[in-house]
A and B are shown apart, each in its own frame.
Chain A
Amino acid sequence: EVQLVQSGAEVKKSGESLKISCKDSGYTFTNIWIGWVRQMPGKGLEWMGIIYPGDSDTRYSLSFQGQVTISADKSIRTAYLQWSSLKASDSAMYYCARGHIYGRFDYWGQGTLVTVSS
Chain B
Amino acid sequence: QSALTQPASVSGSPGQSITISCTGTSSDVGAYNYVSWYQQHPGKAPKLIIYEVSNRPSGVSNRFSGSKSGNTASLTISGLQAEDEADYYCTSYTSRSFPLFGGGTKLTVL
Contact = CB atoms under 8 A, between A and B. Distances in A.
Interface in A45-79: 45-47, 50, 59-62
Contacts, number: 69
**In which size bucket is the chain B interface?**
20 to 34
Contacts of B35: 103
B45 A109 contact: yes
A50 B98 contact: yes
B12 interface: no
Contacts of A102: 32, 34, 36, 52, 93, 99
Contacts of B57: 106
Contacts of B45: 95, 108-111
Given A50-B98, A102-B99, A103-B36, A62 B91 contact: no
B51 interface: yes
A109 B44 CA distance: 10
Interface string A33-55: 00101000000111100100000
Contacts of B97: 59, 101
Top 8 A-B pairs ranked by shortest CB distance? Answer: A102-B34, A104-B51, A44-B104, A108-B45, A103-B36, A103-B99, A103-B91, A102-B93
Interface of A: 35, 37, 44-47, 50, 59-62, 95, 97, 99, 101-106, 108-111
